[in-house]
Structure 1
Amino acid sequence: MRKLAAALVGVLVAALPATAALAAAPKPDIAVTSAADKASYAEGETFTITVTVENKSSVDAKHVHYTGGDSEGVDDVAYGELSSGFDLAAGATKTVKLTGKTNRVAWQVGRGYVAFELRADNGEANAADNITSVRLLVPGAFDDLGGYVFQGESYDAEWTPQTAGVPGVKVVATTADGKTRYAEAITDAKGLFRLAHLPAGDVLLTFTAPAGWKVMAGENGEYDHTLAQVSADDSDEPRIFVPAKKVPVSSPSASPSPSSPSPSSSPSSSSPPLSPSSSPTSAGPGLPVTGDKTMLLVGAAAVALAVGIALVLVARRRRVRLQA
């Protein structure tokens, strides 16, 4: 038994270096990028996609090939060398092409796409960069887009026909990058809105709620905007449902009172005369004083002088008494 155990231990010890060497053996690192030959296509038009495959590792990649993918709005996709496979030396780059045609679905939704993955038979060091996709724009179709802004307490609230709506919310539709404006609408008493004649494809909807409401749009309800898909079909049913909750209405802050002008801020003799519409309190030349008003001003000045002298005498007498 001791001899058998020793033999097994010897076999394991001898196998460990080989196992470690296999585990540490480098693998090829296939990176894939792709681009369509045109910015947009018509329905039924042939497209060509150029695929660039790079082996970023120091190991030759054996039989690099297409392993699967997905597509929409396209027909007759031919992968060519990506299907049959090819070897790619360490550090080398190869360019291949695939072709196909857009179809009616691409026209209805405004775009088609092709997505796929490549792998080498001798492994992959980084699977994150061997997947690629290409969007094929197919403009031409238009349709309306409708939805509801309804009352809810959280972003995942669910709409039902009995749910109260939020009226007075402005909804603006633009391109996905927000640069081109398509249409706008205001929600009615039920919270319903409808945007007319939008191009098929992705549009950005931005919501502006009236005071006392907060729209909870986006994936987690943190935004006032969300992306939507416009499709040319026969359905007029609302497809966008966005909750909004009540929030406190902030009171407007009081406007600061105008500060009194300092003596140094009086206009210089070179300042232009004020217009007749200027404020009566503004500094500047006034109208000449007539005789009746002059007598009134002189009398008022005399009374003020007398009152001032009396106040001084009273204060002096009180001070004398306090010192006594």
Structure 2
Amino acid sequence: MRKLAAAALVGALVAVLPATAALAADPKPDIAVTSAADKANYAEGETFTITVTVKNKSSVDAKRVHYTGGDSEGVDGVVYGELSTGFDLAAGATKTVVLTGKTNHVAWQTGRGYVGFELAADNGEANDADNITIVRLLVAGAFDDLGGYVFQGESYDADWTPQTPGVPDVKVVATSVDGKTTYAEASTDAKGLFRLAHLPAGDVLLTFTAPAGWKIMAGENGEDDHTLAQVTADDSDEPRIFVAAKKVALSSPTVSPSVSPTPSPTPTPPTPSASTSAGPGLPITGDNTMLLVGAAAVAVAVGTLLVLVARRRRVRLQA
């Protein structure tokens, strides 16, 4: 029985190996495509030319590389040329083809049109990540206003209704997508409404600065203070931008640690003079005061003695 089982296993392996080898010997081409428009800006109704570069990055020839589908907006009459009929592309080879079309009024209203498409080969595609391309066609000339609301919400995806309280005094600045050119500025009113005037049609960047106590929750995850917006030239004045803001606690001001003041030294009372007399002291001068006092005392004594002597002499004379 063991011999039969071993023989069956060997037979199965022999049967599978040719199929595996056949799969390994049948690799698919790898088509990569890039494209670019011939101008940076177009006018409404202007013809555009897109240069398409197709490269076969694999070691397998690509059979009938062709356009398989795509999408476009703001353009008319797109002609795909060889991309529609198809062409063979050898392994490692590169081919350049063109397609053409015209911008239309929608491109003027929105500030841009685009053409996007996908290529494939009849014998398959090894990598679907780089065989798709999209070309933007900028159309300048149209301007319009853009309005919206900054409203109170607990999360970035909160819903706005006409009864939702707004956040006033939020500064809104509209710039180019790269932030280098400022188009307009505005502030929200008591209802949270703002309106930016005369913006160019196309993509703009809106940046919000909320007053203290509020946090803007913009962007895809609500962690940003800015968002992209599309300006479209039409007759509608309806607000199009809705951004939630959440009330947050005000940060406390930083308080420096208290420092005990250095006590002032207690003034030392003046040393009393040696004299204990309650009367006013004699002024101190540079003269020898004690000598003068002594001389005066001697003069008084002598005067007294002379008076006594004179009285005794007068008494004797009278006697």
Q: Using the alignment, how far apart are the partners of 1:257 and 1:139 within structure 2?
A: 62
Amino acid aligned to 2:147: G
Q: Using the alignment, how far apart are the partners of 1:199 and 1:67 within structure 2?
A: 35
Partner of 1:39: 40
What is the deviation of 1:124? 1.0
Show CA shifts across 1:39-85 (max 9, x none): 00000000000000000111111110000000000000000000000
1:114-193 matches, cutoff 5 A? 114-193=115-194
Amino acid aligned to 1:134: V
Is the partner of 2:21 in helix, strand or coil? helix
Partner of 1:16: 16
Q: Using the alignment, how far apart are the partners of 2:269 and 2:44 within structure 1?
A: 94
Partner of 1:239: 240
What is the deviation of 1:220? 1.1
What is the deviation of 1:246? 0.5
Partner of 1:288: none
Amino acid aligned to 2:180: K
Q: Using the alignment, how far apart are the partners of 2:8 and 2:109 within structure 1?
A: 69
Show CA shifts across 1:113-161 (max 9, x none): 0000000111111110000010000000000000000000001100001
Is the partner of 1:128 in helix, strand or coil? coil
What is the deviation of 1:174? 0.2
Is the partner of 1:63 in helix, strand or coil? strand
More divergent stretch after superposition (13-22 vs 59-68): 13-22
Q: Using the alignment, how far apart are the partners of 1:63 and 1:161 within structure 2?
A: 57
Amino acid aligned to 2:53: T
Q: Using the alignment, how far apart are the partners of 2:158 and 2:234 within structure 1?
A: 27
Show CA shifts across 1:193-231 (max 9, x none): 000000000000000000000010001111000000000
Is the partner of 1:127 in helix, strand or coil? coil
Is the partner of 1:144 in helix, strand or coil? strand
Q: Using the alignment, how far apart are the partners of 1:170 and 1:141 within structure 2?
A: 25
Is the partner of 1:149 in helix, strand or coil? strand
Q: Using the alignment, how far apart are the partners of 1:304 and 1:118 within structure 2?
A: 105
Q: Using the alignment, how far apart are the partners of 1:67 and 1:118 within structure 2?
A: 6
1:75-114 matches, cutoff 5 A? 75-114=76-115
Runs of 4+ in 1 over 3 A off after TM superposition: 5-15, 254-258, 301-307
What is the deviation of 1:86? 0.5
Unaligned regions of 5+ residues in structure 1, if any? 259-300, 308-324
Is the partner of 2:129 in helix, strand or coil? helix
Aligned length: 263
What is the deviation of 1:23? 3.0
Bigger-Rg structure (1/2): 2
Amino acid aligned to 1:19: A
Residues 77 and 26 (structure 1), Cα distance of their counterparts in 2 relative to 1, 3 Å cut: same
Amino acid aligned to 1:103: N
Identity of paired residues, percent?
A: 80
What is the deviation of 1:27? 1.3
Q: Using the alignment, how far apart are the partners of 1:209 and 1:103 within structure 2?
A: 39
Residues 8 and 61 (structure 1), Cα distance of their counterparts in 2 relative to 1, 3 Å cut: farther
